[in-house]
């Protein structure tokens, strides 16, 4: 009985370590950026309409997410107020590597499959 329990514990520890070490650094970085810059408006699970008007992240496909972030990061959005202006400020506050990491994270965490 003890031997079986020990094997079970060792297996669980091994699988947990495999999961932790298999996560891509950019995904982990993207998750941290999401928590800092996006969570307040989009929620923990991407299931909140930011400012009550945006679509929920969990409703978007990966290409829709990419396209929307590209538009909102455009310099021409700089003076725009409201949700679009807020998004531009959030995006322009990160460098290209951070932008790509958070995009990779939100796609992996929330994106719908393209139909």
Task: Flag whether 78 is in a domain.
Answer: yes
Q: How many CB atoms lie within 10 A of CB 31?
A: 19
Task: Give the number of domains in the chain.
Answer: 1
Residue 5 lies in a domain: no
The pTM of the full predicted model, rounded to 2 decimals, is 0.70
Residue 115 lies in a domain: no
Q: Is 55 inside a domain boundary?
A: yes
Quote the pLDDT of residue 112.
87
pLDDT band at 91 (very low <50, low <70, confident <90, very high): confident
Output the domain CATH number for residue 45. Answer: 1.10.760
Q: Is the dihedral of CA 68, 73, 79, 81 positive or negative?
A: positive
| pLDDT per position as a tens digit, 54-80 | 889 999 999 999 988 888 777 776 666
Is 61 contained in some domain? yes
- Tell me the residue range of the domain where 66 lies: 25-110
Q: What angle do CA 17, 23, 63 make, to 5 degrees?
A: 155
7 in a domain, yes or no? no
29 touches 94 (CB < 8 A): no
Write down the residue that tokens 């070490």 correspond to.
21
């Amino acid at each position: 009985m003890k031997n079986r329990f020990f094997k079970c514990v060792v297996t669980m520890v091994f699988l947990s370590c495999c999961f932790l070490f298999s996560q891509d650094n950019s995904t982990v970085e993207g998750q941290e950026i999401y928590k800092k810059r996006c969570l307040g408006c989009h929620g923990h699970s991407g299931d909140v309409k930011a400012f009550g008007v945006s679509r929920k992240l969990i409703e978007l496909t990966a290409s829709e997410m990419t396209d929307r972030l590209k538009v909102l990061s455009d310099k021409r959005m700089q003076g725009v107020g409201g949700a679009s202006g807020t998004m531009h400020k959030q995006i322009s506050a990160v460098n290209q590597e951070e932008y790509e990491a958070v995009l990779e994270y939100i796609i992996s965490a929330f994106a719908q499959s393209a139909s």
